[in-house]
């Protein structure tokens, strides 16, 4: 087991208010780490710190360090970091352009693929996100016209096109119906073989279905982290048990 | 005495007051347009639009004034649009909320409130005399462009703001830099709004008189402008001259000139409206 991400004593603040307090956690290579917890428990703040999307927020500040392959992410160029740590948002955000352009957008800007093999990159990304069969005949139509679930898988394909090492999922199915959710989860399980995944979810069942390990956050603290099967069957902390059985949250 | 209005009656009164106020807005516009068209249409002819003035401007056409206004306004917008859009991008996309930003924003607000004749004097002092442009197209254009800068910045910022923040986040999250995001996501989607603002600005500065009074406009120039450093005749100033300074001026020429200026401004606004409708239709989100 190799640690892909290591978090050392991370504290995060929004305008002086502590939202994550001295967090120590690791993410193992090629696992899906699910993070569950009620709202305001710091899950999303943690995720947005992992690829430094919080840098854009002027009220945000933090202490402590995060290492990606033993390299401190706060010493890295944020653009290089985000190329290695992709992020999927809660609401699907297709860019206002065609399906093809949505996927070729980032590789073009980052100079990853030349125009000649762009077709291959687009096809491979769409296949890996299980969307290819549904859109292969209309790659030039607008991405906005896709259904919610298709849009979310398009956003996954867009991340795959830049070949990241880690993918962060921020409640990726909160706006989707059960069938679309199943498709996104299916894509996630397939991706695990090549990528390391951190999944924040409000859906406890989703964590139990796809998570290799599961972490429970409460009020900015990591209460418990364990193998998913073990955490769901015999949680060590009473609060974890209460949450997963639906007694609060 | 306890006087209380019947709620149905008060509703009727409120409705009447609001409706009449709205009508009051339209009436002056209609009267102005009607008056100008009625008195001026007889002067409009191909010859009026395409020849030089004759007989001390009492006859002939107004071509030099039309060309003068067009050249000043086009020059002005070519200067003010790039500068204004760049400033708007900086303020909207990069600037952090600190003292400098606040001073800049305050300056923009104040710049918009300065009376136009003050810009005219400023242009006279800086461009005409200090920089030695003389009374010329370029001096007038620079003066107008400084006057229009706050408007361009404000409309451009509105257009940039209308592009959803989520698009920027999506782009950043893929490792794309801020500038590339602006260049490839924000600007293309803000362009319709920026263009509409620019066209409306053109319409507005076409009718400005005071800023070009000391910096560009001439009473009479016997030839068409040849270079940026020529004095020119301009429609608004020409209108002022023929209506106040020349005795026995035929009335229809005065109103005809006003009609041409009005059509110029209105057609610009019309283009802006059509463009806005068109861009709204093809917008993809």
CA distance linking residue A209 with residue A189, whole number of Å = 10
* pTM greater than the 0.90 cutoff: no
Q: What is the DSSP letter of B182?
A: I
- Structure-token pair, residue B279: 């861009």
Chain A contacts of B167, Cβ < 8 Å? 93, 95-96
The pLDDT of residue B84: 94
Report the alpha-carbon angle A108-B165-B86, nearest 5: 75
Contacts across the A-B interface (CB distance below 8 Å): 67
Determine what percent of chain B is predicted with pLDDT higher than 90.
39
The predicted model gives A7-30 an average pLDDT of 90
Asked if the model's pLDDT at residue A249 lies above 60, the reply is: no
The CATH architecture annotation of domain A3-93+165-244 reads 3-Layer(aba) Sandwich (3.40)
Chain B contacts of A91, Cβ < 8 Å? 166
The question of ipTM being above 0.95 is answered as no
The predicted model gives B29-39 an average pLDDT of 91
- Helices A148-160, A178-191: axis angle to 10 degrees equals 10
Q: Please, which pLDDT band fits residue B139 given cuts at 50, 70 and 90?
A: very high
The pLDDT of residue B15: 94
- Structure-token pair, residue B34: 């009607």
pLDDT tens profile A192-240: 889 999 999 988 889 989 999 999 999 888 999 999 989 888 888 888 8
- Structure-token pair, residue A137: 């005949």
Question: From the CA of A55, how many Å to the nearest CA of chain B?
Answer: 11
Q: Please, which pLDDT band fits residue B19 given cuts at 50, 70 and 90?
A: very high
pLDDT tens profile B50-62: 888 877 777 777 8
List all residues 6 or more positions away from B84 whose beta carbon is below 8 Å from its beta carbon: B148, B149, B152, B153, B156
The predicted model gives B228-255 an average pLDDT of 85
The pLDDT of residue A198: 94
Minimum Cα–Cα distance from B163: chain A residue: A96
Cβ–Cβ contact B171 with A under 8 A: yes
Cβ–Cβ contact A68 with B under 8 A: no
Chain B contacts of A125, Cβ < 8 Å? none
- Helices A118-128, A148-160: axis angle to 10 degrees equals 130
- The answer to whether the Cβ–Cβ distance between A109 and B180 falls below 8 Å is yes
Question: From the CA of A49, how many Å to the nearest CA of chain B?
Answer: 12
- The answer to whether the Cβ–Cβ distance between B174 and A158 falls below 8 Å is yes
Asked if the model's pLDDT at residue B1 lies above 60, the reply is: no
Q: Under a CB-based contact definition with an 8 Å cutoff, are residues A13 and A61 in contact?
A: yes
The pLDDT of residue A32: 92
- The answer to whether the Cβ–Cβ distance between A96 and B284 falls below 8 Å is yes
Q: What are phi and psi of A93, to 5 degrees?
A: -120, 80
- The answer to whether the Cβ–Cβ distance between B175 and A158 falls below 8 Å is no
**What does pLDDT average to over chain A?**
89
The pLDDT of residue B244: 87
- The answer to whether the Cβ–Cβ distance between A155 and B169 falls below 8 Å is no
The pLDDT of residue B284: 57
- Structure-token pair, residue B40: 């001026």
Determine what percent of chain A is predicted with pLDDT higher than 70.
99
Q: Please, which pLDDT band fits residue B129 given cuts at 50, 70 and 90?
A: confident
């Amino acid at each position: 087991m190799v640690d892909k991400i290591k978090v050392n004593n991370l504290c995060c603040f929004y305008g002086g208010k502590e939202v994550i307090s001295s967090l120590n956690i690791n993410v193992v290579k090629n696992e899906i780490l699910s993070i569950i917890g009620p709202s305001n428990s710091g899950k999303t703040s943690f995720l947005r710190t992992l690829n430094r999307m919080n840098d854009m927020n002027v009220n945000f500040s933090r202490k402590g360090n995060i290492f990606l392959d033993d390299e401190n992410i706060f010493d890295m160029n944020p653009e290089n970091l985000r190329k290695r740590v992709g992020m999927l948002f809660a609401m699907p955000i297709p860019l206002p352009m065609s399906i093809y352009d949505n996927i070729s957008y980032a590789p073009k800007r980052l100079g990853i693929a030349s125009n000649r093999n762009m077709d291959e990159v687009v096809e491979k990304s769409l296949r890996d996100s299980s969307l290819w069969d549904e859109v292969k005949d209309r790659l030039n139509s607008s991405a906005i016209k896709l259904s919610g679930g298709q849009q979310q898988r398009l956003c996954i394909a867009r991340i795959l096109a830049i070949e990241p090492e880690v993918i962060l999922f921020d409640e990726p199915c909160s706006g989707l119906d059960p069938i679309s959710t199943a498709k996104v989860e299916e894509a996630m399980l397939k991706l695990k073989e090549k990528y390391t995944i951190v999944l924040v979810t409000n859906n406890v069942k989703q964590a139990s279905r796809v998570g290799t390990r599961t972490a429970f956050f409460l009020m900015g603290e990591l209460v418990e982290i364990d193998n998913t099967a073990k955490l769901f069957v015999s949680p060590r902390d009473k609060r974890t048990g209460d949450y997963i059985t639906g007694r609060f949250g | 005495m306890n006087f209380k209005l019947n709620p149905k009656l008060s509703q009727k009164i409120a409705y009447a007051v609001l409706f009449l106020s709205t009508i009051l807005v339209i009436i002056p516009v209609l009267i102005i347009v009607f008056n100008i068209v009625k008195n001026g249409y007889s002067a409009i002819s191909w010859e009026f639009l395409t020849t030089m003035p004759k007989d001390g401007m009492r006859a002939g056409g107004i071509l030099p004034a039309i060309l003068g206004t067009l050249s000043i306004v086009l020059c002005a917008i070519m200067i003010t649009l790039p500068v204004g859009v760049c400033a708007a991008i900086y303020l909207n996309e990069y600037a952090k909320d600190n003292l400098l930003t606040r001073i800049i924003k305050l300056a923009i607000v104040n710049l918009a409130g300065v009376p136009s004749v003050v810009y005219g004097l400023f242009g006279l002092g800086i461009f005409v005399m200090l920089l030695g442009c003389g009374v010329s197209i370029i001096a007038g254009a620079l003066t107008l462009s400084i006057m229009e800068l706050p408007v361009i910045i404000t409309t451009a910022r509105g257009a940039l703001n209308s592009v959803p923040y989520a698009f920027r986040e999506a782009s950043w999250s893929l490792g794309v830099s801020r500038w590339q995001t602006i260049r490839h996501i924000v600007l293309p989607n803000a362009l319709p709004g920026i263009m509409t603002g620019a066209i409306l600005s053109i319409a507005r500065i076409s009718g400005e008189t005071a800023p070009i009074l000391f910096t560009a406009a001439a009473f009479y120039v016997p030839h068409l402008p040849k270079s940026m450093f020529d004095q020119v005749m301009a429609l608004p100033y020409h209108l002022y001259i023929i209506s106040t300074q020349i005795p026995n001026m035929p009335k229809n020429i005065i109103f005809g000139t006003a009609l041409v200026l009005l059509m110029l401004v209105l057609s610009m606004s019309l283009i802006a409206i059509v463009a806005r409708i068109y861009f709204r239709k093809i917008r993809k989100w």
